[in-house]
Chain A
């Protein structure tokens, strides 16, 4: 143990500038090695520390989503429906719903249905297990490709296994070729 405290100066040697006579070569080297080993352990644990640091939340705000329609609403015939999709980084929010859907759930596409003078806005999500329903132009009904549920033009169930009607979307028309749909817009982190 005493060795560690010996001052490593040779007899008669003139102490040089910057040499601390209290720190022997051995003391320096052992601390140096300990430092290297500590650095290795820290390098191994650093990913864990980085991982548990909470990431910035993605900014999401409720905002109307503007959707351009492929075909103007005035060209939509009575008894017909047109599909519209949410642009990137946006989602529609359901107004109501039951079964697999609930108010506030997200939908990424919707149908605008023309019935007489009314326009009805429905989310595509089947109320059974959430598949996207297709509009059958000839029979004027929505059909689910997954389990065969059928919904009327207004979204009511006409055939199971679905038990409740399709969800509605809150929509406003903007001119003839665009819709404003109640929804969510997300901004990527840092954006």
Chain B
């Protein structure tokens, strides 16, 4: 009996898929794209690097969630001991968390470089303003990612950094509304961020939910929009 080659196995799988939906067409349309010569410069790569780092963040984040416990009650809190457990006891836990930590830092660098390139080549101009706006919203989302992720290890640095952040966010002065009362904007922002009267377990709980549920969903959606708009407009030519 002859042994089938990998190519034959591959063709059999693709044929099976193609006879059920236009698999080849879909993949070709998504992946086959001519890149103009001017886009071969290294500074056109920063957006792609940002994308790769976000993929790294999602993957390592999922695996960190295998062991992380978002619970700040007790002393020492499970949130803190579970991060310590990942770093000290879990096989290669230091590596997975290290990648998550360093990719988060690099992500900010890459986003700034990408934004600078877009600004420099004037790629924000018509008809691409919408994509610039989407990009700025994603930058803000990444910054909220950084803010919420910083609290999760629940160590002294995390706790006090967040205390300061919440204090700063709560600093807008109350606005007197004649005849109605006083609108305490700072107080409202503070309570919503904190989830209670003090920075404590309730704060960690909502920062965790924002970090792992809300923001990933938002950024995936916006990344899809960002890339569809690039396909629509094409890569902008340099000045």
Say whether A associates with B: yes
Q: Residues of A with Cβ closer than 8 Å to B?
A: 1, 4-5, 22-23, 26-27, 30-31, 33-34, 47-48, 50-53, 55, 58, 100-102, 105-106, 125, 130, 189
Q: Which residues of B contact A101 (CB under 8 A)?
A: 75
A4 → chain B, closest Cβ, in Å?
5
Q: Is the CB of B74 within 8 A of A50?
A: no
Given A51-B93, A105-B74: A22 and B5 within 8 A (CB)? no
Residues of A contacting B2 in the complex (Cβ-Cβ under 8 angstroms): 4-5, 22, 27
Known A-B contacts A47-B92, A130-B75, A189-B89; A52 and B3 likewise in contact (beta carbons under 8 Å): no
B4: chain A residues at CB < 8 Å are 4
The B interface, classified by DSSP as helix, strand, loop or mixed, is loop
B91 within 8 A of A: yes
> Which residue of chain A has its CB nearest to the CB of B85?
A55
A51 and B76 contact, Cβ closer than 8 Å, known pairs A27-B5, A34-B6 = no
Chain B, residues 92-108, CB within 8 Å of chain A (1/0): the string is: 11011000000000000
Are the CB atoms of B3 and A23 closer together than 8 Å? yes
A contact residues around B8 at 8 Å (CB): 1, 4
B7 sits at the interface (CB 8 A): yes
Would A51 and B3 be within 8 Å (CB), given that A100-B75, A102-B74, A106-B76 are in contact? no
B23 within 8 A of A: no
A48 to B99, CA, bound (A): 12
Partner of B91, one of A30, A53, A105, A130: A53
